[in-house]
Amino acid sequence: MEKLLDALKALSDETRLRILNLLFEKELCVCDIMETLQISQAKASRHLIYLKNADLVKDRKHAQWVYYSLAIDERIKFIDSLVYDNLRNLELYQNDLQNLKDWLKRKTVNCD
């Protein structure tokens, strides 16, 4: 499975780790990710597509939105450990989760 190396390459960038960390919480659309991480739309989109090409996430289109969610199969074990045992000990990724919560709350108030 050549895909293992692709997965590892996808994991070797901080922005993509931050995105994965968020997607371990729930399915999100591109704009949730740009808002939460405070990155440009192009950057969010590009990294999501990179993760998709590595088979780590899948997408689902609904109206004008594209929702991304995890698509981790037998590689789940080590990536799970990476996320829960390593990433989530780090302040950056903890803050990102808090920012996600805040954003989703604001978003609901504003839009629904």
Chain positions contacting DNA, by CB under 7 A: 9, 12-13, 15-16, 29-31, 39-43, 45-50, 59, 61, 63-67
Cα angle: 96, vertex 97, 103; to 5 degrees: 85
8 binds a copy of itself (CB under 8 A): yes
Residues 49-74 as b/e (b if ≥16 CB within 10 A, e otherwise) read ebbeebbbbebeeeeeeeebebebee
Contact partner, 17, from a copy of itself, DNA, none, Cβ < 5-8 Å per class: a copy of itself
Site string for a copy of itself, 67-106 (x = CB under 8 A): -------xx-xxx-xx--xxx-xx----------------
Shortest separation between residue 49's beta carbon and a copy of itself, angstroms:
18
Backbone angles phi, psi at 72, to 5 degrees: -115, 120
Cα separation, 25 vs 13, in Å, equals 19
Cβ-contact 47, 53 below 8 angstroms: no
Task: List contacts with a copy of itself (CB under 8 A).
Answer: 1, 4-5, 8-9, 11-12, 14, 17, 74-75, 77-79, 81-82, 85-87, 89-90
